[in-house]
Structure 1
Amino acid sequence: MLLAELLSDDSNCRARAADSVCDWRSSYSVTERRVIVRMLSVLAQHESDLIVREAQLHAIFEVVDHPAVTLADVEPVFGLVGSATGSELEYLQYLHMHFQVC
């Protein structure tokens, strides 16, 4: 269900789905955590709705703080560096520092 909502044509549905990732973050297995972060990273890179993209970045921020999550899992989101604005930049800066990306 989460995947269908994250891929929905309805931007409100996509934003709610990203928000729900945060609500369930403590219950994810290591594999689920990595898959969700990777999926959100790819989706955020291609998201045109700024509200949805911020929700996706926030969800990544909430879930990424686990030793099993790797730079490869979040790497797609770094494609936003040239187009990110406002709080999106803060999320990207955090990810850069977290993974010590130069």
Structure 2
Amino acid sequence: MDTKIWNDIIRDINADLELESCLETSMDKIAGLSDVEMGSLMLLDKENQELSIRAAKGLSQDIIENARPKIGEGISGWVAQSKEPLLIKDIEKDKRFRRRGGNYHNNSLL
């Protein structure tokens, strides 16, 4: 992404300093720019080393409320452990992906 895009995201975040709203704005902008069908922003609970979804696109409410991967577990846990961003074009082909009863289909994931 170029500098203008990041500046737009930062400007929108600074317009509203409430965390949940900032995360939702960021998720919407990043997902739109990345042309993905699903994505989430997760925050780490340092006490129990679990991630929780705080903003999402294209995920069911059940997943948003119940997904709590540990560091190193699945795709989100891998991202948290490696501290590297990840864009997957086909999650069905990624070995880090663990299917959860049909909640995902052959789509991109951010």
TM-score normalised per structure 2:
0.30
Higher share in strand? 2
TM-score normalised per structure 1:
0.31
Larger radius of gyration: 2
Higher RCO by CA contacts (8 Å cutoff, separation 6 or greater): 1
